Amino acid sequence: MNEAVYVFPGTFSPPTIGHFKVVIEASKICDNLTIICSRNPDKSSCWFIPEECVEFWKSYNLPSNISVTTFSQFTKTKHDMSKVVMVRGIRNEKDLAHENNVVLLNKKDYGINNYLYILTDPEFENISSSLARELASKLDLEALSKLVSPMVLTALIEKCLEQKNIVMVVGRPASGKSTILGHLTKLDPKNIHINTDEFNHQIKTLLKEAFPGEDLLRVAETNEAELLRVSTKPWFNLLREALIKAPKGSNIFIEAAYGLQENKKLYNLISRKILSIGCRDVVQLEKRIINRGTPHILLFMRKIPDIAESIRIAKENKLEIISIETDGPVEELNSKAVKISEKINKEVNFKWKTCLLE
């Protein structure tokens, strides 16, 4: 069809990997495709407004011939409806049966007669926005992470828990994470610190049973995959408990030093909002580790990305990262905590955006 206007409309509250796969397949056929985020008055379960859903779509790696807008913006431009082709994803027979009503309504309301149907891969057949919302309500982070982008996961969990911000705090040992987070909790009762190192102490008994008579540090060095297999489920159970206990309207800082590690990628399960705290001077950092009596941590220090690497990982994965450098004297850490607390608690319409906090 010459000069066809391909559109993929929906509430997308939120957009899932299933929607994304439909768009990818359609992009191979269409010269240009516009995703249209709209409101549906018949759906009472739309958690997000169209403008929010537009931003969610941008967290997926959309092809260059794909654009995203709201229904109100799309209708500001006059279109020849005879040239509009509506893209529809078909997951199963139920979807197919529903299309009769869709076709009749679109013809009546908008004069749309042309459709492009994309058959969904069976692997993604059961994925839907409603399932994503259900998993978020249950705080099933592992399952939810397979359905949506880190940005969408963060928004869903913040929505369910009625929290202001959920932030993952990363950085190498002795970089000042706990010190800054300690200052943050004193500055404002809305700043909550969840220290996942404490989870490791609680899981230690379980690990000793799984690896009887073995040095757990040695196991972590030589058999990390098995260690993760044993500890992941109880670790996330403890995280869920901590999240549920947090007062509503809080800024929750989840300290997970290794959250950006290649074999961890906890941003997929915790948050796309990252606070990276680090000392660029590696020699100084090693001295700090030795002076605090934890030389065994030196074995794992370099596995944890430094600030520069953390920024690169964040950019590649469409995360938002605020970085704090801690090479100076320890007295400076309190002033940096003050800056970030004021930013998130006092700035009007504050949004977590990538920057270096001076």
Domain-wise residue ranges, the chain: 5-127, 162-356
Q: Compute the average pLDDT of residues 44-71.
A: 92
**Counting beta carbons within 10 angstroms of the beta carbon of residue 229, is it exposed (0 to 12), middle (13 to 18) or buried (19 or more)?**
exposed
The residue type at 277: I
**Counting beta carbons within 10 angstroms of the beta carbon of residue 103, is it exposed (0 to 12), middle (13 to 18) or buried (19 or more)?**
middle
Distance CA 169, CA 191 (A): 13
Higher pLDDT, 14 or 92: 14
Which two tokens mark 1? 């069809």
Q: In what order do the strands lie in the sheet with 191-195?
A: 191-195, 251-255, 165-170, 273-278, 320-325, 355-356
Q: Compute the average pLDDT of residues 326-332.
A: 86
Tell me whether domains 5-127 and 162-356 share a fold: yes
Within 10 Å of residue 162's Cβ, how many Cβ atoms?
11
Among 142, 126, 166, 154, CA closest to 48: 154
- 80-132 pLDDT, tens digit each: 888 889 899 888 778 777 787 888 887 887 878 888 999 888 888 889 999 99
Does residue 225 surpass a pLDDT of 90? no
DSSP H helical ranges for the chain = 17-27, 50-57, 71-74, 93-110, 129-137, 141-144, 150-161, 177-187, 197-210, 216-222, 224-245, 282-291, 298-301, 307-316, 332-346
Q: Compute the average pLDDT of residues 178-184.
A: 95
The mean pLDDT of the chain is 89
3-class SS at 36?
strand
**Counting beta carbons within 10 angstroms of the beta carbon of residue 283, is it exposed (0 to 12), middle (13 to 18) or buried (19 or more)?**
exposed
Q: What is the pLDDT of residue 44?
A: 62
3-class SS at 51?
helix
Q: What is the pLDDT of residue 2?
A: 60
Using pLDDT thresholds of 50, 70 and 90, give the confidence band for residue 311: very high
For 217, which DSSP code?
Answer: H
Within 10 Å of residue 195's Cβ, how many Cβ atoms?
18
Distance CA 344, CA 136 (A): 24
Report pTM: 0.88
Using pLDDT thresholds of 50, 70 and 90, give the confidence band for residue 43: low
Percentage of the chain lying above the pLDDT 90 cut = 56
Does residue 1 surpass a pLDDT of 60? no
Distance CA 139, CA 133 (A): 10
Backbone conformation region of residue 347, classed left if phi is above 0, alpha if psi is from -120 to 50, else beta? beta
- 18-37 pLDDT, tens digit each: 999 999 999 999 999 999 99
Q: What is the pLDDT of residue 161?
A: 97
Half-sphere exposure of residue 167, counting CA atoms within 13 Å on the CB side? Answer: 29
Does residue 251 surpass a pLDDT of 70? yes
Are 317 and 267 contacting, i.e. CB atoms less than 8 angstroms apart? yes
- 121-169 pLDDT, tens digit each: 888 888 999 999 999 999 999 999 999 999 999 999 999 999 999 999 9
Q: What is the pLDDT of residue 328?
A: 84
Percentage of the chain lying above the pLDDT 70 cut = 97
Are 2 and 36 contacting, i.e. CB atoms less than 8 angstroms apart? no
Using pLDDT thresholds of 50, 70 and 90, give the confidence band for residue 253: very high
Arch. (CATH architecture) of 5-127: 3-Layer(aba) Sandwich (3.40)
Among 169, 188, 199, 294, CA closest to 250: 188
Look up the CATH number of domain 162-356.
3.40.50.300
Q: What is the pLDDT of residue 42?
A: 65
Higher pLDDT, 12 or 227: 12
Using pLDDT thresholds of 50, 70 and 90, give the confidence band for residue 187: very high
